[in-house]
Structure 1
C-alpha cells in the first residue's frame, strides 16, 4: 500500500503562488496536494519542515560534470550517477549531463551510458546534451578546434536512432556546420536543437529557428554579438519569441548589467533560463582539471585555459538563483522560475516538472528562510540532506 507523505509546517512556493504554513502532500512520487494542516489526510506520514521554505526543484540543461567527474572523461552509468548526486546537493533535481565536443567514439559511448542510466532510473537524470561537435571554429570557446566538424549523414542517422529515447535530449549546433534540413530532422526526431558557438547572422538564426531550433546555448558567450546594424545571434535570441535561451549566472560569463538588459528585452513566449555550464569542480576542492588534454585552471570562482579563455563555469544552481535574486534584484520567485519552470518549458516537460502542482513530479528543494540548503527531494524521496 502506497502511503501519503506530508511535509508540514512549511512555506511553499508552487511556481506561481505562496502557501503559508501549509503541507506538501506526496504519493507515489507525485504531488497530490498543498493543504492546510487541518486538511491532512488520515494516515499520512508527517514530516515536520519546521517553518522551512519549499520551492520547485532546479532543472539544469547544461552540466559538463560535478563531484570530480567530467562526462568527457567518464562515459559510464556510475559517472552519470556521480554527477547527478553532486548537483543534487545544490538543489538540482533534474539535469542533462553535457558532452563537450569530442570524437565519434566518445559520443557513442556517452549515448550508451545515457541509455543505461535511463534504465537504471538514476535520480535526477533527465537525458543528454550534446554540445557539439558541429560548431563553428571561429566561436569555439573552450571546445577543441581539431574535433569540430560538419554534420554528416552518418552522424544524423546515429542521432535520430536515439531521438525519442530520453525524457529530454538537447544538441547544440552551429549553422556553419549543419544544414536547415538536418535541424528539421533533429527537431522532428525528438531533439531540442540549440544554436550556439556560432557567428550566425540574425537572418540565419531566424531561418534556423523556423526550421526547428528552439533554444540558444549560453546567451552572449561564443556567439555573434548584438550590434547596431548586425543583431547577430544575441539579437535573434532576444527578439524571436520562439527561442528560449540559457544564460550562465556567475557574474563572469555575462556582466550583470548585460543580464539585466537581456531579461528586460526578451520577447516571449520563449524565456531566459539559468544553466550552470558546471565542470567537475562543483562540490570539490579541486584546483583544476583537464579537457581534451588541455589544462583548465580554477581560481576565484573562474575556470580558464592558460590563455584566459573561460572554460565552463564553477557555480552551482542554488548559487546561480541567488545571484540573479540578490545581484540583479529579481524577485526570488522569478529567479526560481528561471531555474525550474522556464528550462522545463524549453525542453517540453513543463506538464510534469518545474512546478509543485497536483500530478507533477515531487521534485523540490527545502531551504531555510535565508535560502540556505536543507534538503533535496526527487520523485518524493530525499536524496540529499545538509
Structure 2
C-alpha cells in the first residue's frame, strides 16, 4: 500500500518546510519540498511531526503498568497513542522483588507484540530520603546479582534502571547494567556532586526527571543537578506539565543541554486521560485533584496526568523552543536514548511512518503508527 501526504508543513531536524512525503509498507520512502508530484491526501497546511517517544511512563486510562495487568496496559498504550506517543517504555515503581519480576514478565509480552519499546525499573534501588511516591519500606541496596534476576524476568526487554548513585553497590550495579545493554539512570538520589560524577563515570547516561526527587541546585553544594547538566554523556529527562518544574528551570536546563541532551517524558500514571479521584501507583494510594496526582499519605507528587502532546505544546509556548527543537526533545533525542534513532524519531526516508498531524494550535489532528492511522486527520 502506498500513501502520499501532501500540502503539509513537515518538521524535520533541518527545520520546517512545506512539502509532502510518501509511505509504503509502513515506512517513509520519500520526503519532498513543495507540491507533491502526484495525487495524495491533502493536509491543508497542517504540521506533520514524528511520533513522540516517551521513555518514562507508568500508565493511563485507568491502567497502571506496575500491576502487570495486560488488558489495562493495552488501554494505557492506546490512550497515549491517541495523544501522539507512538513509542513508549513502561516504567515500574518500587515493589517487592517478586512483584517486580511478575510485572516485568507480564509486560515483556507487550514488548514482544511491539506495543511497548521496553521496561524501566524506577526502583527499588533509590534513596529513602528522595523516594517520592515510592514505598520506603521496599527500598533496597542494589547488587549486580539481583539486577540480573530482574533482567531475566524481563526476557531481554528491560531498557533502563534508575539507581541512586550514593547507595552501597550502586557503582557496580550501574556497570553491570551497562554491560548488559541496559541504560543506567541516576535519580531519586540524595547524592552529592562527586558521588553523581562517580555514577556517570561508571556508565550512567540518563537523569531520571531532573530536579525532581534530588537535592536542589546550590552554589556551594551543587549536588546531582549540576553534575548531570554539565556532563555531555548525560541525557536529562524533563516533565513539562507546569507542576513538576517551573518553566524558568526548564529553560535553564534546556539552555545548558540543548535539544540533543533533553528528553521530554510524561511520568504519567493511571489517572491520565481520566478525571480527578482516587487511584494507585504500585502499592501506593494516590489522589488526583485538579489534574495533579499526589500520595494520599504524605502528599508527595505521584507521577503526572500528562500526555506528550501537552508537553510538546508547552515546550513551544512556555519554554520558547522552536518547532524543530521541540520535535527533537519529544522524539529524536529519546529515540537516541533507546538506540532506535535509525528507525524512529524524525521524518526521513527509510524510517518508520510514525507520524503526528498537528493543527495550527499544535493540537493532535491525526496519529499514524507504522503507516496505519490510529486516528485519521479530521
For this structure pair, what is the TM-score category when the shorter chain's length is used for normalisation?
over 0.9
Which structure 2 residues correspond to residues 122-137 of structure 1 after superposition, within 5 A? 122=115, 125-137=116-128
Where does residue 99 of structure 1 map in the other structure? 92
1:243 and 1:270 in contact (8 A); partners too: no
Where does residue 10 of structure 1 map in the other structure? 8
Q: What does the per-residue CA deviation read over 1:78-111, in whole Å, with 9 as the maximum and x for residues that have no partner?
A: 3332211110111111011110111222211222
Distance 2:357 2:202 in 1: 41
SS of 2:4's equivalent in the other structure is strand
Distance 2:356 2:175 in 1: 37
Distance 1:13 1:143 in 2: 38
Measured at CA, do residues 71 and 269 of structure 1 come closer, stay the same or move farther in structure 2, by a change above 3 Å? closer
User: Once the 2 structures are TM-superposed, how far is the Cα of residue 196 of structure 1 from its aligned partner?
Assistant: 0.3
Picking from 114, 129, 132, the partner of 1:121 is 114
Which structure 2 residues correspond to residues 274-353 of structure 1 after superposition, within 5 A? 274-306=264-296, 307-353=298-344
Picking from 170, 195, 219, the partner of 2:160 is 170
Q: What does the per-residue CA deviation read over 1:110-154, in whole Å, with 9 as the maximum and x for residues that have no partner?
A: 2212321123232xx211111011111011011100111112354
User: Once the 2 structures are TM-superposed, how far is the Cα of residue 265 of structure 1 from its aligned partner?
Assistant: 2.4
Where does residue 30 of structure 2 map in the other structure? 33
RMSD: 2.1
Picking from 227, 230, 233, the partner of 1:242 is 233
Q: Tell me the matched-pair count.
A: 375
Instruction: Give structure 2 stretches of 5+ with no counterpart.
Output: none
- Structure 1 window deviating more from structure 2 (87-96 vs 269-278): it is 269-278
User: Are 1:233 and 2:224 an aligned pair?
Assistant: yes
Distance 1:229 1:25 in 2: 55
User: Are 1:257 and 2:255 an aligned pair?
Assistant: no
User: Once the 2 structures are TM-superposed, how far is the Cα of residue 17 of structure 1 from its aligned partner?
Assistant: 2.5
SS of 2:92's equivalent in the other structure is strand
Measured at CA, do residues 300 and 177 of structure 1 come closer, stay the same or move farther in structure 2, by a change above 3 Å? farther
2:143 and 2:173 in contact (8 A); partners too: no
TM-score, normalised with respect to structure 1: 0.91
User: Are 1:205 and 2:205 an aligned pair?
Assistant: no
User: Once the 2 structures are TM-superposed, how far is the Cα of residue 206 of structure 1 from its aligned partner?
Assistant: 1.2
User: Once the 2 structures are TM-superposed, how far is the Cα of residue 219 of structure 1 from its aligned partner?
Assistant: 0.5
Instruction: Give structure 1 stretches of 5+ with no counterpart.
Output: none
Picking from 211, 223, 228, the partner of 2:214 is 223
